[in-house]
Amino acid sequence: MSTYYLNYLEELESEAIFILREVWAQFQNPVILFSGGKDSILVTHLAKKAFHPAKIPFALMHVDTGHNFPEAIQFRDDIVDKLGVNLIVGSVQKSIDTGRVAEEKGKNATRNALQITTLLDTIEEHKIDCAIGGGRRDEEKARAKERFFSHRDEFGQWDPKNQRPELWNLLNGKYFEGEHFRAFPISNWTEMDVWNYLTKEKIEIPSLYLAHEREVVKRNGSWIPNSEFLKLEPNEDIVKKKIRFRTLGDITITGGIESDADTMEKIVEEVSTMRETERGNRSDDKRSETAMEDRKKDGYF
């Protein structure tokens, strides 16, 4: 006899598909924010399911800081090709060249915060009214307060204290001209859920997530990969380590962890025994206790 209930992964999948379809039904010009990281890959995969047998009706949008892992860019281009969707690239380098933003100065300078301007400019330029993100509420304390449909004012800002209440499955995506929304279909997934699902569904991810040999340097307790953008400090040495990445951001700020997990199954095993959060190796979140909240208010992902 069949049992008429879903297990938790099936329920999360169904919820995410519901939200993706709701985005399609309520907005004129929605896109998926695609970074090449596992969360945006998951969202894209869920979108494929949500609209099968039709094509994914969203373009993928990538905010390119110029400081990329080459593997992630290759992965992005392959997936765009395979799905036959449009790719919109917002370039931070272009924002710098046109004087919209200035490169940060100092030792820990990154292009992380600069992405906000590029992101909002690209949204405006392409008249995007909803940007679908892979943000999850378990990632960070400010994200724990995020809605499925999250309103952004004319300035692209998030007002966490004045959010629309979200009840049952009734999502209000109404906005005035110039405003936009962010939608977060995998809000209720945890890192563990994502890995379990990616493994179960045999979804391809960039090789960076699997353990591999790489030249790295120890910085603030994380292994930062060697790249053309890395400026070595006098006391730093480049060493070779077997590492993998738990999240993918800019190559300049994403730290790897030492690991032997070179298959999906081994990653699931490893993540289930992890004692540190995945963003613990992201120096963008370490700047202050409210680093994420502050950036999100300004319009960050």
Partner 1 sequence: MKIDKNQLLRFTTAGSVDDGKSTLIGRLLYDSKSIFEDQLAAVESSSKQKGIEGVDLAMFTDGLKDEREQGITIDVAYRYFTTPKRKFIIADTPGHIQYTRNMVTGASTANAAVVLIDARHGVIEQTKRHTFIASLLNIPHIIVCVNKMDLVDYSEDTFNAIVEQFEEFSSKLLIKDVRYIPISALNGDNVVNRSEHMSWFQGSPMLHELETLHISSDINKIDARFPVQTVLRPQRKGFEDYRGYAGRIASGIYRVGDEVAVLPSGFNSKIKSINSGDKEVEEAFAPMSVAMTLEDDIDISRGDMIVKMNNQPELSQEFDVMLCWLNNSPVKPRTKYTIMHTSNEQKAVIKDIVYKMDVNTFKRNEDDKDLKMNDIARVKLKTSHRLMLDSYRDNRNTGSVILVDESTKETVAAGMIV
Q: Interface residues with partner 1 (CB under 8 A)? A: 2-15, 17-18, 21-22, 24-25, 48-55, 137-138, 141-142, 144-145, 160-161, 163-170, 172, 174-176, 187-188, 190, 192-193, 196, 200, 272, 274-277, 280, 289-290, 293
Q: Which is nearer to partner 1, 15 or 121 (CB)?
A: 15
Q: Which is nearer to partner 1, 82 or 141 (CB)?
A: 141
CA angle 277, 108, 40 (to 5 degrees): 45
| Least Å from the CB of residue 8 to partner 1 | 4
Q: For residues 76 and 74, what is the distance between their CA atoms, to the nearest angstrom?
A: 5
| Least Å from the CB of residue 103 to partner 1 | 28
* Contact in structure between 59 and 85 (CB atoms under 8 Å): yes
Dihedral sign for Cα 219, 34, 208, 201, please. positive
Q: Which is nearer to partner 1, 71 or 138 (CB)?
A: 138
| Least Å from the CB of residue 53 to partner 1 | 5
Q: Which is nearer to partner 1, 28 or 235 (CB)?
A: 28
* Contact in structure between 93 and 144 (CB atoms under 8 Å): no
Q: Which is nearer to partner 1, 161 or 231 (CB)?
A: 161
| Least Å from the CB of residue 39 to partner 1 | 15
Q: Which is nearer to partner 1, 38 or 151 (CB)?
A: 151
Phi, psi of 88 (to 5 degrees): -110, 125
| Least Å from the CB of residue 92 to partner 1 | 27
Nearest alpha-carbon partner for 130 in 23, 25, 15, 19: 23
Could you tell me where the beta strands, DSSP code E, fall in the chain? 30-33, 59-64, 87-91, 130-132, 149-152, 180-183, 212-219, 222-225, 239-245, 256-258
Enter the tokens of residue 239. Answer: 């060493």
| Least Å from the CB of residue 145 to partner 1 | 5
* Contact in structure between 111 and 67 (CB atoms under 8 Å): yes
